[in-house]
Amino acid sequence: MWTLTKRFTFEAAHRLAYHDGKCARLHGHSWVGYIECCGVELFERGSKTGMLIDYGDMSAALEPIVDGQLDHHYLNETLNLESPTSEVIAQWLYNALKTKLPLLSAVTIEETCTSRCEYRP
């Protein structure tokens, strides 16, 4: 089996409506994310020979979502979520990408340099 991972970053604000601490207030992060695709068969012909998936195809699926709904946005509004935790964001992104990336196996979101969440259905 092969596993390919594509890293991405975005700057965004959110607030956790139900949190009992400071995260209930509006604040922002420099988020880092990873999408992971897994599979057992490589392309045998054409321009993608020897690849599981083209990294460019991973980026092409990801970029419109990052640009349109994540980067420099207020996640509560653009994701239509009352309390967008890292866990919920990872699952939301997985669901948004799965139809475009059938080999998608996991989404990881780093909210801070010491806090990370992985969603793997």
What are the catalytic residues?
23, 72, 111
Quote the tokens at residue 57. 């195809």
Residue whose structure tokens are 């607030």: 15
Neighbours of 15 (CB within 10 A): 17
Read off the DSSP letter of residue 56: H
Q: d(Cα 59, Cα 63) in Å, to the nearest integer?
A: 6
Q: Assign 3-class secondary structure to 71-117.
A: CCEEHHHHCCCCCCCHHHHHHHHHHHHCCCCCCEEEEEEEEECCEEE
